[in-house]
């Protein structure tokens, strides 16, 4: 086993499952567990580590030591890719949406990326919409040299291979098959992997955090690639749209953190946990159901507003 494979293998399965006793503002009749993928690695954590794992191995197999990927100014994926490059010895290039940002002060996410050695290349929003176009990607490779290209959000077939490993891990940890496994949905790579690997007894719930997103219409069809059975369901908790929030959501996250000591962020995991709470109040889950929520990390996107209580 070479050094990269050894390092990645050591991280596999290092995500604990935590029983949350009475985590919500009122008692709910389910057994709720949290799959703590936020603890997989101090920098490359959560579902981003899962998505990058096999892509890093493939880049090495192709003898490419530079990763090129795409994201917005607050992208968890850019953050994780930059960290992975530093940890595992890859050069990294981030194509950032918004050419006006090139001359602006760096926000914490972009500053971290640069501190890890990532080269940031800012493009207009019109150019950014071409991110999946082969000619656009070829122009980038001509500019930067040979690169291993990873799509925005990190979702591709190899990413889904990484996220299929979540459910087998948690079944081994619980010594039982969960009734429900829940995760927030952005680009769909994590929920696709869950759907692919879930036993038929398990319902996979994708908590959509983007307004108007339809799992069936995601490109490049990651959900269809992972639809192992019909027990994949979409529930929508966007709170106004991607990265938007409300006072109700902020108050819920603060109350959850006081009770459990587990940090959340308001873009993905906070919305998912609120959704589980809301569905449970409505009687969506059978009494005493075993429900596992996947904590997908991304705490660098945590709002300062959450620390004011």
Give the residue numbers marked as catalytic. Answer: 75
Please give the torsion angle defined by the CA atoms of residues 250, 255, 260 and 266, in that order, rounded to the nearest 10 degrees.
-10
Task: Measure the CA–CA gap between 251 and 261, rounded to whole angstroms.
Answer: 15
DSSP structural state of residue 154: G
Task: Measure the CA–CA gap between 306 and 309, rounded to whole angstroms.
Answer: 7
Name beta bridge partners: 185. Answer: 208
SS (H, E, C) 163-215: HCCHHHHHHHHHCCCCCEEEEEECCCHHHHHHHHHCCCCCEEEEEECCCCCCH
- The full length of the chain comes to 309
Give me the helix-helix angle, 76-88 and 108-115, nearest 10°: 20
SS3 68: strand
Half-sphere exposure of 181 (CA within 13 A, CB side): 32
Characterize 69-100 residue by residue with b for buried, 16 or more Cβ atoms within 10 angstroms of its Cβ, and e for exposed: bbbbbbbbbbbbbbbbbbbbebbbbbbbbeee
* Contact criterion met (CB below 8 Å) for 69 and 95: yes
* Contact criterion met (CB below 8 Å) for 95 and 70: yes
DSSP structural state of residue 289: E
* Contact criterion met (CB below 8 Å) for 202 and 177: yes
């Amino acid at each position: 086993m070479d050094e990269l494979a050894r390092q990645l293998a050591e991280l596999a399965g290092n995500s604990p499952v935590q029983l949350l006793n009475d985590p919500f503002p009122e008692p709910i009749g389910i057994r709720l567990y949290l799959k703590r993928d936020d603890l997989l690695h101090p920098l490359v954590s959560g579902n981003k580590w899962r998505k990058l794992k096999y892509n890093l191995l493939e880049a090495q197999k192709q003898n490419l030591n530079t990763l090129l990927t795409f994201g917005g100014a607050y992208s968890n994926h850019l953050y994780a890719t930059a960290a992975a490059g530093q940890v595992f010895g890859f050069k990294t290039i981030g194509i950032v949406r918004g050419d006006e940002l090139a001359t602006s002060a760096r926000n914490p996410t972009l500053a971290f990326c640069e501190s890890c050695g990532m080269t940031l290349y800012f493009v207009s929003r019109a150019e950014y919409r071409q991110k999946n176009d082969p000619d656009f990607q070829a122009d980038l490779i001509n500019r930067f040299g040979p690169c291993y290209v990873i799509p925005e959000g990190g979702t591709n077939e190899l990413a889904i291979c990484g996220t299929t490993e979540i459910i087998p891990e948690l079944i081994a940890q619980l010594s039982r098959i969960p009734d429900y496994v829940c995760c927030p949905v952005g680009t769909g790579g994590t929920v696709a992997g869950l759907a692919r690997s879930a036993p038929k007894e398990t319902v996979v719930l994708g908590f959509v955090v983007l307004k108007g997103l339809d799992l069936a219409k995601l490109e490049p069809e990651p959900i269809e690639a992972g639809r192992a059975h019909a027990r994949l369901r979409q529930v929508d908790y966007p709170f106004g749209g991607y990265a938007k929030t409300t006072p109700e959501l902020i108050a819920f996250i603060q109350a959850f953190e006081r009770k459990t000591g587990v940090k959340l962020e308001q873009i993905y995991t906070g919305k998912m946990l609120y959704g589980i709470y809301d569905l449970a109040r409505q009687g969506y889950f059978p009494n005493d159901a075993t429900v596992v929520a996947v904590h997908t990390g991304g705490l660098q996107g945590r709002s300062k507003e959450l620390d004011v209580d």
